[in-house]
Chains A and B, each alone.
Chain A
Amino acid sequence: MGQRKRKSIWIRSGFALLWMAAAGIFLGAFAMPMEARADMPYDTYSYNYWGEEVKEPHSYLYARSITQQEIGSALRFPSDMFIASDGIYIADTGNNRIVITDFEGKAVGEITCGASETDFLSGPQGVFVTGEGHVYVADTGNGRVVEYDKDLSYLREIGRPVTTLVADSLTYSPTRVVVDGAGRIYVIAYGINMGLVEFNAQGEFQGFMGATQVSVSPFTYIWKNYFSTEAQQQRMETIVPTEYSNIFVDQEDFIYATINNLSDEDHLAGADAIRRLNPTGSDVLRRLGDYPVIGDLETTTFGYDWSSFVDVAATDYGCYFILDETDGKIFAYDNDGISLFVFGRNGNREGNLQKPAAIGLGADEKTLYVLDNTLNGILVFELTEYGSHLLNAIRLNNLGDAEGSTREWREVLKYNSNSELAYVGLGKTYLTEGRYKEAMECFELGNNRKYYSKAFSYYRKELMEKYLTKAVIAAAVLLAVIWIVKKVLRGRRWVGEVRCYMENR
């Protein structure tokens, strides 16, 4: 009875404490101005094991935007942006120029023409800056790629690829250009669906790279080729490979390429929305997550609402950020293709996007720039503490610094106890340290059965080594005891029988 009474007192005092805490929070909320973070115009979430969106702390916060005021002149339908070490290069398509600004947004330079003063650029849609500072511009309207040196003076132009593979009737309109470390130039052009157009460092056409494979369902194939009339065939869409929407070259000279004109059928058939092409043109993107790298998993019940990737930016350690035009979201993935976080939204509030066109990462991923085609400006997002712990953990893990990454994962868990990634990360450290029981717990929380199984097999071995001899001895002793008891009982029965017999005689 006394026990119970004491318990109830404990409970009561617990409630009192709770009430006080609640009141404190309530008053505190009035006393202090609400923190700005709670008021972001978007949510940050990630997908858990079950494919559900789980809200989590913001990784990037909207900080400011770079528009007409900062630049000094208005942009018109800009379509590409490159973040170089010395500033931001914007392809200002509508104004037929490339604008160069510093990181605050103040214009510091401009490119308007090619070889001569009168050779104006025409609707340039792509811009790229090499490590040495050379600027490559995809001059879409003039069908050429123009290279400038560090001081923005004209060097050369690379025109239409000389090949019979492209029909003469097709106007060559390059839209995006990247250059890898070896000086090879890769171009996306309208209407060319054989992949990226590849030029060597001298500007000679080399071939097409990374053609997207055509996937045709057997039903469509049979229907199209055997069961439809001539007229029907003409009205049907021709099955062509998809074109890339944007490219990004990472520090290993691998090319990230996004694809955004996929149909519902393509999506349902599991077509790639992003690829990582190695120099031979095959896709080497790691897809080890529970879900494919397609942005938002299917969410609507009425029709499909697929994410549409328009640009990608990758970090040195393999994390990449994909920009989605459908919802104005930014999807972050790690080097295994596991979703890290998703943030951003299309809308009319400050900090929302309208028609995102390009994404770029500042130094150390501290800032993230998103160019918007309709807002005619750049939105700047800044990394939060939580985000930096998360990215750091992955970076350190990639560098092989297990201790550092464990520390960072612990920090991540302090902010977000739902983070499956952090649990798996921690678990892996425990596994290498030989703390199998803890590793198992972590993997269970992180819902990773593969590693759980691994940890469990070690744990089981450990248990066996510890208890097997004891268990065998115990079993032997038990068997011996049973045997003896049986013997004794039988002996007694025998004695009893004998006695019985003697008495009856």
Chain B
Amino acid sequence: MIFLFLTILTLALEKLGTAFLFNGNRLSEVNILVDVITVLLVFTLWCVANWCTTSLMDGKGKMKDIVIAMGYALFPIVLIRLPMVLLSHAITMEEGAFYYMFGFIAYAWAGILVFLGTMMTHEYSLGKTIFTCMITVVGMGIILFIGLLFFNVISEIIVFISTIYREIRFR
């Protein structure tokens, strides 16, 4: 949980605090809620989808284990990208290659940790982990799709009911 919070904090600080040279964001348009929602949404989606697929594919991990593993997997993002905010104030455009490389390493490391975390918690083989990860991504898409469909239908229902109500009232 703490790592989740720290990740959100890192992403927000990155947008606010990165030096002008490396900051393509417009300060007046930065919204911390966007970071909160993206991180929470992706995290929850991944965990739920992963839990759904692995419980079908005889994974050993429980929901709690998955969340813990994934939480720890976010650690490199905090560890590398947070100091990078400070670093960005001390380097020029020419040295920017390092900056971008470190940024990439942070995400790559986190990705590897997610992968290994899945492998460990469910006691899978390598091939099976890759397969599960792919299924999980597909699962995330399906969940998103169903969620959007749900919202759509609900709003249609609300419109429908309100129309009926209006019809009756104006009779």
Q: Which residues of A contact B (CB under 8 A)?
A: 50, 444, 449-450, 452-454, 456-457, 460
Contacts and interface: CB of A to CB of B under 8 A. Distances in A.
Contacts, number: 19
Contacts of A456: 21, 92
A50 B28 CA distance: 13
B26 A50 contact: yes
A420 to B, nearest CB: 14
A450 B90 contact: no
Contacts of A457: 92, 94
Nearest to A456: B92
Which of A50, A444, A456 has the most chain B CB atoms closer than 10 A to its own CB? A456
Interface string B1-37: 0000000000000000000110000100000000000
Contacts of B92: 453-454, 456-457, 460
A449 B21 contact: yes
A457 B26 CA distance: 23
A453 B93 contact: yes
A450 B92 CA distance: 9
Contacts of A50: 26
Contacts of B90: 460
A260 to B, nearest CB: 34
7 contacts: A50-B26, A444-B20, A449-B21, A453-B92, A454-B92, A456-B21, A456-B92
Given A444-B20, A456-B21, A450 B26 contact: no
A457 B94 CA distance: 9
Contact of B93 (A444, A450, A460): A450
A424 B146 CA distance: 50
Interface string B57-94: 00000000000000000000000000000000010111
Nearest to A458: B92
B21 A452 contact: yes
A456 B94 CA distance: 11
Given A456-B92, A457-B92, A460-B90, A449 B26 contact: no
Interface residues of B, number: 7
A453 B94 CA distance: 8
Nearest to A453: B93
Contacts of B26: 50
A454 B26 CA distance: 21
A454 B92 CA distance: 8
Contacts of A454: 92
Contacts of B20: 444, 449, 452
B88 to A, nearest CB: 11
A452 B93 CA distance: 9
B83 to A, nearest CB: 18
A266 B67 CA distance: 51
B18 to A, nearest CB: 12
A444 B22 CA distance: 12
A65 to B, nearest CB: 42
A460 B20 CA distance: 15
A12 B62 CA distance: 63
A59 B90 CA distance: 40
Contacts of B94: 453, 457
B82 to A, nearest CB: 22
Nearest to A50: B26
Given A449-B21, A452-B21, 6 more contacts: A444-B20, A449-B20, A450-B93, A453-B92, A456-B21, A457-B92
A453 B88 CA distance: 12
A449 B94 CA distance: 11
- Closest A-B pairs by Cβ, 3 of them: A453-B93, A457-B92, A453-B92
A333 B58 CA distance: 66
A457 B21 CA distance: 11
A449 B92 CA distance: 10
Interface string B90-107: 101110000000000000
Contacts of A444: 20
Interface in B88-130: 90, 92-94
Contacts of B93: 449-450, 453
Interface in B111-158: none
A50 B26 CA distance: 9
A456 B93 CA distance: 9
A442 to B, nearest CB: 12
Nearest to B93: A453
B56 to A, nearest CB: 42
B77 to A, nearest CB: 25
Contacts of A453: 21, 92-94
A49 to B, nearest CB: 9
B160 to A, nearest CB: 29
A468 to B, nearest CB: 13
B33 to A, nearest CB: 21
